[in-house]
Amino acid sequence: MHKEAAIREPLILGHKTYHDVTEDVCKPIEDKAPRMWYILFGIALIIGLYGVGCILYLLGTGIGVWGLNKTIGWAWDITNFVWWVGIGHAGTLISAVLLLFRQKWRMAINRSAEAMTIFAVFMAGMFPLIHMGRLWVGYWTLPLPNHFGSLWVNFNSPLLWDVFAISTYLSVSLVFWYIGLIPDFATIRDRAKKPVAKRMYTILSFGWSGRAKHWNRFELVSLVLAGLATPLVFSVHSIVSFDFATSVIPGWHTTIFPPYFVAGAVFSGFAMVQTLLLVMRKAMKLEAYIHTKHVEYMNIVIMVTGSIVGTAYITELFISWYSGVEYEAYAFLNRATGPYWWAYWSMMTCNVISPQLMWFRKLRRSLLFTFIISIVVNIGMWFERYVIIVTSIHRDYIPAAWSMHYPSHIDIGVYIGTIGLFFVFFLLFARYFPVLALNEVKTILKSSGESYKNAPDHGHH
């Protein structure tokens, strides 16, 4: 008898049946929420409300309450904006790109990743709006009809492209996420005991009945949306990078920015997915569906994108020296050795060195190690945006205008507040929505479930 090739690790552990999958995902929604959920939700809500308070104070007083000054006009605000947009990238990548490549491991993580994307884009969208100072004229950034008089939208401004990129990204992600939820809402609807819950999930599930025709349309729409969302993964963060790349400031006007921002975004996005999922699988007892194999795949993505980002940093340094432009060279020298050296080296350590540890199989399959690295990476990515935005402009051509940026407590409050709000949204999602795409997980049960994988062809049912 010949020995067969080594079987790939099953994606669904434990001898799960179709019914078990439904039970495992619907249980947390139907039961009363655990006490821990209420505690976490309370903490997140308080932090979020503090952030809202800071924003209201800012709108009442003016942008001067931030630590910005003549030189550093964008300060922390746009740093946080770019950071949040970056975090929003993993969802679309996991859903759209991996769907097109027919990767089965995305099934377990796509739902939470997409939810994370939408909430992150919410948070990101707030920052440019607050930065306008006059929030109530925010609609002037939209392409307005001519009867508004002499109000022309400046189509040359990358900040306007941002408006288009973010709104397109949000709408496509939202539709994609919701369409995936419909069959799962129908499952919960059919199981619901309480009339109010039944009514709510009936409305949410749009009369889904699970007929072959419904599934057929579902697959078609998912494919079309994945095709639309894939270019978005690249375009959105490229456009965010144009905010810098199309300017003439040394340290900003670099042609390498679009691909390097996209890689950085996927890098930080996957790190955030890891942070959230490792906690959630424990809290919701989903260890059978999200396990070392998924973590390993995601760590490989983090390792690859981290390496791309590292290459980009080194390329930038080389080009600044090679260009022969002394201002360009100084911008980079000042980053590494000036008063903000600590931010630069934090970024280098977190983003370039830490992902390289993923080459070791033992480390990339360790859940604790992954959890720590995922947080380290997001700290590093925040510093990266900070280094690009603040250190490039805090010393410009005239030494008399040199200044340092010190964040005010409003700066910090708004930033921490958005993290709080993000978790408020995410906790609500985890409570009332199926966090696993349960009907999609069932489609891979036969090909990747443990009992089906290891069983002989007869008599296992």
CA angle 298, 282, 295 (to 5 degrees): 10
Mean pLDDT of 37-51: 92
pLDDT of residue 448: 66
Helix 257-283 / helix 367-386 crossing angle, nearest 10 deg:
140
pLDDT of residue 455: 53
Name the one residue in this structure whose structure tokens are 């630069």.
344
Contact 408, 67 (CB under 8 A): yes
Question: Ramachandran region of residue 10, left (φ > 0), alpha (ψ -120 to 50) or beta?
Answer: beta
Closest by alpha carbon to 365, among 297, 446, 447? 297
> 218: helix, coil or strand?
helix
Query: Does 145 reside within a domain?
Result: no
Q: Distance between CA 247 and CA 78 in Å, rounded? A: 15
Which domain covers residue 429, as residue numbers? 30-136+152-446
Once rounded to an integer, what is the mean pLDDT over residues 369-380?
90
Return the percentage of the chain with pLDDT > 70, whole number.
92
Collapsed DSSP state (helix, strand, coil) of residue 377 = helix
Cα–Cα distance, 205 to 446 (Å, whole number) = 26
What would the pLDDT profile of 244-286 be if each residue is shown by its tens digit? 888 888 888 888 888 888 999 988 888 998 888 888 887 777 7
Residue 449, classed as helix, strand or coil, is strand
- Residue 244 belongs to a domain: yes
**Any domain includes 270:** yes
* For residues 134-160, average pLDDT: 74
pLDDT at position 208: 81
Of 293, 307, 244, 301, the residue nearest 272 (C-alpha): 301
How many domains does the chain divide into?
Answer: 1
Does residue 401 sit within a domain? yes
Categorise residue 115: left if φ over 0, alpha if ψ from -120 to 50, beta otherwise. alpha
Top pLDDT among 441 and 422 is at 422
CB-based contacts of 419, cutoff 8 Å, min separation 6: 47
* pLDDT of residue 16 exceeding 80: no
- At 12 the three-state DSSP class reads strand
Of residues 309, 381, 29, the one with CA closest to residue 194 = 29
pLDDT value of position 458:
46
Q: Extract the tokens encoding 242.
A: 């144009």
Confirm if 414 and 89 have CB atoms less than 8 A apart: no
* Domain membership flag for residue 295: yes
Give the lowest-confidence range in 170-174, 290-294, 418-422, 440-444: 440-444
Residue 12 lies inside a defined structural domain of this protein: no
Count of CB atoms situated within 10 Å of the CB of 338: 16
Give the model's pLDDT for residue 422: 92
C-alpha 241/C-alpha 316 separation (Å) is 14
Q: Is residue 44 part of a domain?
A: yes
Q: What integer is the mean pLDDT of 108-125?
A: 88
- Per-residue HEC secondary structure of 273-317 comes to HHHHHHHHHHHCCCCCCCCHHHHHHHHHHHHHHHHHHHHHHHHHH
CB within 8 A of 327, min separation 6: which ones? 250, 397
Higher pLDDT, 16 or 324: 324
Share of the chain above pLDDT 90, in %: 9
**Does residue 393 form part of some domain?**
yes
**Mean pLDDT taken over the chain:** 83
pTM recorded for the entire structure: 0.87
Look up the CATH number of the domain holding residue 36.
Answer: 1.20.1630.10
The answer to whether 84 and 415 have CB atoms below 8 angstroms apart is no
Distance in angstroms (rounded) separating the CA atoms of residues 123 and 48:
11
**What is the pLDDT averaged over residues 164-179?**
88
Report DSSP state, residue 3: P
Residue 51: the pLDDT is: 92
pLDDT confidence bin for 53, thresholds 50/70/90:
very high
Instruction: Retrieve residue 16's tokens.
Output: 């799960």
